Structure 1
Amino acid sequence: MRLYLLALNPTDSVTEGFLPAADRLGLAVTVLTDQPDAHRTAYRHLAAPPEVLPCEVRDFREVVGLVSRHHAPDAVFSNSDHLQTQTALAAEYFGLPAKDWRAALRAKNKAQLRRHLAAVGLDTVRAVELAPGQPVSGIDPPFPCVVKPREGVASEDVALVADAAELAAHCAAVRQRRPQDALVVEEFLAGELHTLETLGDGTRRHVLGGFRTRISPPPHFVEEALEFVPEHPRPVVDQVLAQLDALGVGLGACHTEFVVQPDGRARIIEVNYRAIGDQCDLMLARLLDIPFFEHVLRVHLGEPLPAELGARTGRHGHNRAVLADRAGTLTAAPAAQEYEKDGVQLVYRPFRTVGEHHVHHRTNRDYLGVVWAVGDDRRAVDGAVEAFLAANRWEITP
């Protein structure tokens, strides 16, 4: 059986998660990407590197054409935020299990997500969509408000602005970097930030738990740490699931970010119709002790999920980012490592290599690496992460 996997840049989710899972399932994998050299380099260490073909994956017509000229597909899949709609359309073209492309579009397009949830009467967030070049002076948002690229990721160019002057300045700065991108200006949804991780086969849906997310101080929204939450309060989960149902989310993994307000109301921040990233999906699989990546691939092959996943309970997980606090060249950092000590499994993965120079983004793009740990004792898990951070050093030279 052949799996076509669509990707932009290489990610740990694919390299460490989905490709090994595909190998365990006996699948032949063809990676379609617009960055073939980067993927071939990323997969050199794998026992069975996949076939990598260059393709304009942002255009579903190019995907359909290439697959039609190559081997017959059994599944078309992507874990990229940017490629869910294209993947859904290509899979549907070949009559394969597919996400509803409308749901994929609603999740990716933050303005459309707001409009749809308001139209079905589930949640109304005051939001304005700004087309490229559209004057900011003509809108009247509630301050403070959040400005974000309509189809952005990784908190990039997202900021909280306090007044009209800050709004104009931030929009102008973003448009210098990405002049062709539409923006969304929306009311600030205050509350503690959480995630809900779900897995569905189109009929049955499992809630895998979620995370409590610590973010950086305003005006930016950088995810600094995530702690596993086995079960959110049932009324909160029901509200989030109702909104996912209204959006049409059903097949595969979904990572939803939301806040809970003092009155218990759950307000969605964004829906990422794929597995959670930045090593959290790998941590989740280890934490729950389930073949998470295999389950995701199986549903895209048309197989139903089991009634019970057999997830391990009573464990704690802690994911912590190591962030650059300035621009410069990374001149010292620990290597990738993994070990178990005193009942705690700890993993560290670098996101930058020593010698790389980067600007300071003030987003998740500033991650130098991620350390995570899982175990039965929360204090031991948290302590292992703190001990690792204290024992290692990351140096940036301007």
Structure 2
Amino acid sequence: MRLYLLALNPTDSVTEGFLPAAARLGLDVTVLTDQPDAHRAAYLGPEHPRIEILECDVRDFRAVITRISTHHTPDAVFTNSDHLQTQAALAAAYFGLPAKNWRATLRTKDKAEMRRHLAASGVDTVWSAELSEPAALDAPYPCVVKPREGVASEDVVLVDSSEELVTRCKEILARRPGAVLVVEEYLPGELYTLETLGDGRTRHILGGFHTELSPPPYFIEDRLTFVPAHPEPVVAQVLAQLDALDVGFGACHTEFVVHEGRARIIEVNYRAIGDQCDLLLGRLLEIPLFEHILRTHLGEPLPADLGARRDGAARLDYPCAERAGTLTAAPEASELAVDGVQLTYRPLRETGERHELYRTNRDYLGVLRATGTDQRAVDRAATAFLAAQRWEIQP
């Protein structure tokens, strides 16, 4: 069976998750990408057999359809990229294959359209506006300004006045010529995620995370702590909003805040959670997560019970650069077992690399995954590991 996987740059989710899962399922894989050299360099190991890499303008669904129709017959078209969900959905639908509703992928990717649709559906209304050029707005400050189709908290910032809004919009549009920005009211509350997996009929709740952020005005995710089960009323509110968006096929990573018992969606990423949280989740729940996701795109129904382990505790920490410069010292990759806690550290930057300060997850220096069965033990082990490490950045 032939799986077409659409991708931009290589990611841990694909390299360590979906491609090994495809190999275990016995699938022949064709990667369609606009960065073929980067993918060839990423898949040199023996754990990536039977992977074909073809260059394609994957942002254009017509180019994707043409590339597939002039190559091997597809059995599934899949992507885990935020940017390519609509293209993959349209291509899969063209070939009569299982797919997400392209309207749902579009309205979740387009943050302004998501707000309009949720309001029109009567499930939640958030004040928002769109700007294609800097302008003062009579808005309910503080507000959040962000790219309409952005990802990873890039160029997401809190503003307290119309003057600051104009200044921030000028800065963002200078970096993103032609972009459209969304300005929306700030939603107070604790930030969480809900991770779901569905086949269009059955939907499983995999749990979620409590997210700790950097101080305002930026929104960098510093730490995520696993939440095995959110309160039922909270889950019901989030699922009602996902139903209104027609989200229910494959994996979905939803970010939401809870304030005084009310759950309100911040954004919907219609894919598996990233930044190695998906790798942790499969390991923690002891389920073949990536295989389940791929099987839904092959048209296979999900089991009524995934058999997920429910006694796990976990957290992820992201050591983050606080200034621009060259990374001159950093810990190497490691695997440790401490007091029943499994620690996995992976560097995300090479020593000797120079970077600017982005105020996004591109500032991450590494990621620590800690898993066990007791949250206090997990927290102690993670805290001690991080305290013993050293990252040095020279101007």
Tell me whether the two structures share a fold, i.e. TM-score over 0.5: yes
CA distance in structure 2 between the partners assigned to 1:325 and 1:389 by the alignment? 16
| Matching residue of 1:331 | 328
CA distance in structure 2 between the partners assigned to 1:252 and 1:337 by the alignment? 32
Q: Conserved in 1, the CA contact under 8 Å of 2:287 and 2:306?
A: yes
How far does the alpha carbon of each residue in 1:11-57 deviate from its partner, in whole angstroms, 9 at most, with x for none? Answer: 10001110110011001111111111111111112433421111110
Residue 109 of structure 2 is aligned to residue 108 of structure 1:
yes
Match of 1:173 among 156, 161, 171: 171
| Matching residue of 1:14 | 14
CA distance in structure 1 between the partners assigned to 2:70 and 2:141 by the alignment? 53
CA distance in structure 1 between the partners assigned to 2:30 and 2:336 by the alignment? 32
Measured after TM superposition, the shift of residue 342 of structure 1 is 2.7
Match of 1:190 among 182, 185, 188: 188
| Matching residue of 1:51 | 52
CA distance in structure 1 between the partners assigned to 2:52 and 2:337 by the alignment? 34
Stretches of structure 2 lacking an aligned partner (at least 5 in a row): none
Measured after TM superposition, the shift of residue 257 of structure 1 is 0.3
Measured after TM superposition, the shift of residue 314 of structure 1 is 1.5
| Matching residue of 1:369 | 366
Instruction: Answer with 49-58 or 223-232: which moved more.
Output: 49-58
How far does the alpha carbon of each residue in 1:83-134 deviate from its partner, in whole angstroms, 9 at most, with x for none? Answer: 0000000000110000000000011000000000000100000000113x3x
Residue 70 of structure 2 is aligned to residue 69 of structure 1:
yes
CA distance in structure 2 between the partners assigned to 1:97 and 1:339 by the alignment? 41
| Matching residue of 1:78 | 79
| Matching residue of 1:253 | 251
Match of 1:291 among 288, 292, 295: 288
Superposition TM-score, scaled by structure 1 size? 0.97
CA distance in structure 2 between the partners assigned to 1:250 and 1:62 by the alignment? 27
> Secondary structure, in 3 states, of the residue corresponding to 1:354?
coil
Residue 99 of structure 2 is aligned to residue 94 of structure 1:
no
Residue 261 of structure 2 is aligned to residue 240 of structure 1:
no
Match of 1:217 among 210, 215, 218: 215
Measured after TM superposition, the shift of residue 351 of structure 1 is 1.3
CA distance in structure 1 between the partners assigned to 2:270 and 2:247 by the alignment? 7
How far does the alpha carbon of each residue in 1:258-307 deviate from its partner, in whole angstroms, 9 at most, with x for none? Answer: 00011x11110000000000010011111111100000000000000000
> Secondary structure, in 3 states, of the residue corresponding to 2:318?
strand
CA distance in structure 1 between the partners assigned to 2:258 and 2:215 by the alignment? 18
CA distance in structure 2 between the partners assigned to 1:40 and 1:136 by the alignment? 44
CA distance in structure 2 between the partners assigned to 1:140 and 1:68 by the alignment? 50
| Matching residue of 1:158 | 156
| Matching residue of 2:345 | 348
Detail structure 1 runs of 4+ shifted over 4 Å in the superposition: none
What amino acid is the match of 1:51?
A: E
| Matching residue of 1:124 | 125
CA distance in structure 1 between the partners assigned to 2:75 and 2:33 by the alignment? 18
Measured after TM superposition, the shift of residue 397 of structure 1 is 1.1
Aligned length: 394
CA distance in structure 1 between the partners assigned to 2:229 and 2:123 by the alignment? 23
Stretches of structure 1 lacking an aligned partner (at least 5 in a row): none
CA distance in structure 2 between the partners assigned to 1:190 and 1:19 by the alignment? 39
| Matching residue of 1:36 | 36
CA distance in structure 2 between the partners assigned to 1:356 and 1:51 by the alignment? 30
Instruction: Answer with 84-93 or 38-47: which moved more.
Output: 38-47
Measured after TM superposition, the shift of residue 254 of structure 1 is 0.2
CA distance in structure 2 between the partners assigned to 1:345 and 1:97 by the alignment? 37
Measured after TM superposition, the shift of residue 200 of structure 1 is 0.2
Measured after TM superposition, the shift of residue 339 of structure 1 is 3.2
CA distance in structure 2 between the partners assigned to 1:339 and 1:67 by the alignment? 44
Measured after TM superposition, the shift of residue 378 of structure 1 is 1.3
CA distance in structure 2 between the partners assigned to 1:45 and 1:338 by the alignment? 20
CA distance in structure 2 between the partners assigned to 1:199 and 1:94 by the alignment? 23
Superposition TM-score, scaled by structure 2 size? 0.98
Instruction: Answer with 279-288 or 40-49: which moved more.
Output: 40-49
> Secondary structure, in 3 states, of the residue corresponding to 1:241?
helix
| Matching residue of 1:25 | 25
Q: Conserved in 1, the CA contact under 8 Å of 2:20 and 2:47?
A: no
CA distance in structure 2 between the partners assigned to 1:45 and 1:388 by the alignment? 29
What amino acid is the match of 1:84?
A: Q
Match of 2:308 among 308, 311, 321: 311
What amino acid is the match of 2:271?
A: R
Structure 1 vs Structure 2 CA RMSD: 0.9
How far does the alpha carbon of each residue in 1:378-397 deviate from its partner, in whole angstroms, 9 at most, with x for none? Answer: 12211221122122211111
Identity in percent: 70
CA distance in structure 1 between the partners assigned to 2:142 and 2:393 by the alignment? 34
What amino acid is the match of 2:69?
A: S
